[in-house]
Amino acid sequence: MEQIAITGMGVISPLGNDVEKFWHDLLLGGYSGIGAIRRFDVSDLPTRIGGEINNFDPLDYMDKKSVKRTARFTQFGLAAAKQAFENAGLEITDQSRHEIGVYVGSSTCGLVEIEAMIQLGIETGYNRLPVITPIRDCNHAAAYTIACQHNITGPAITFTSACNASANAIEIALDQLMLSKVRTALVVGAEVISHHGFKALCLSGAMSTKHNHHPSKASRPFDRERDGFVVAEGAGAIILEKLSDAKKRGKKPHAVLAGCASTVDGFSVLKCEPEGRQISMAMVKALKHARINTDHVDYISAHGPSMPDTDRAETIAIKRTFKDHAFRLPTSSIKGAIGSPLGATNILQVIAASKSIENQAVPPTLNLETPDTDCDLDYVPEEPRDLKVNCALINSHAYGGGNASIVLTRL
């Protein structure tokens, strides 16, 4: 079976706007991208913190005209994609552009601009809205805009499956590469925090409310004092290509994408299935797809959103999948540092896990100070760890019960 390599990566995140800054702050621990929300008024809300990106200048990646014509999530995606192409050293030619696919995952897409345009329409009348509005703000805007910027003419597909969005994008990209429908795949996850979207998440009761005065302590995966997730924004991008193609052009891969799988709980659109049966099934199927035994997994990048029920269900699922090996298997959640960038989370996890394979070290679970007795695995609390990582498993879970797992290996 042809191996698929990750040859390029790009990051826009609360911890920094390039892969090395992201990895450096994530690995060293103690760095948090969570702070007070600045872009809109949250003074009357129970949650007033999040993982905002406040040091991003779209003019670093596009001209003024393009900035006016693109939504914030598209700008994040364009920036991460540009970094990924540069990191891969991939030249797009008149021939190769027909064989490149663009796969984008996002939960909220252009919600920032949609909210603003609805308000403007109410106040001034809809005939005063910019002509570009329906194109700029649609869910598919990032995929089409990225394709146009790079003159790509292969497939462009958008996934909006909540927190699984970029994991599902990776899975479909892998399938299309294996079927030779494309020769190269650009996979992007991009997410923004919008005002009314933030209010809606507050209404759900799923976000942390206890740590508004200490934002860096709010996201606490697997900790006894966790009280909900912290929403964030950002983007990640990876370039996937057949290993044989990467070797031909002398490009050393960051990691090999060995397998993917997804499931759905079929239990509740509001609650996580408490026994983690389908979270486990996603792991089992991904490992089967990768042809890897459970005892060959060295590290798990957990979904670990800092939500009491979900953290507990994932712990049960890992035990269900790995049996006794689960207690010897280092597992951590990067959400302690960056919060939950919804549909962009999975791809940022993949990038972090790829760096773990390259550097033989894993990031800690930040703020894991008092472990929950129900979350009794080795969750790498507070400090990074040097670790031989030849195989990493990435987990994801989404509102509505979606699950996804991704397997990476060292070349």
For the chain, the domains span 4-248, 256-409
- Give the span between the Cα atoms of 364 and 383, in whole angstroms: 5
Q: Digits of tens for pLDDT over the chain (411 positions)?
A: 789 999 999 999 999 999 999 999 999 888 999 999 999 999 999 999 999 998 999 999 999 999 999 999 999 999 999 999 999 999 999 999 999 999 999 999 999 999 999 998 999 988 888 888 888 989 999 999 999 999 999 999 999 999 999 999 999 999 999 999 999 999 999 999 999 999 999 999 999 999 999 999 999 999 999 999 999 999 999 999 999 999 999 999 999 999 999 999 999 988 899 999 999 999 999 999 999 999 999 999 999 999 999 999 999 999 999 999 999 999 999 999 999 999 999 999 999 999 999 999 999 999 999 999 999 999 999 999 999 999 999 999 998 999 999 999 999
pLDDT digits (tens, 9 = 90+) for 386-401: 999 999 999 999 989 9
CA–chain centroid gap for 159, Å, is 13
CB 3 within 8 A of CB 409: no
Superfamily of domain 4-248: Thiolase/Chalcone synthase (3.40.47.10)
pTM, full prediction: 0.97
- Give the span between the Cα atoms of 184 and 241, in whole angstroms: 5
Q: Which two tokens stand for residue 203?
A: 């209404």
**Which amino acid appears at position 6 of this protein?**
I
- Give the span between the Cα atoms of 331 and 309, in whole angstroms: 18
Superfamily of domain 256-409: Thiolase/Chalcone synthase (3.40.47.10)
Characterise 12 by phi-psi region: left (phi > 0), alpha (psi -120 to 50), beta (else). Answer: beta
Q: Do domains 4-248 and 256-409 have the same CATH topology?
A: yes
pLDDT digits (tens, 9 = 90+) for 43-56: 999 999 999 998 99
Euclidean distance between the first and final Cα of the chain, in Å? 14
User: Which residues lie across from 396 on neighbouring strands?
Assistant: 404
CA–chain centroid gap for 409, Å, is 19
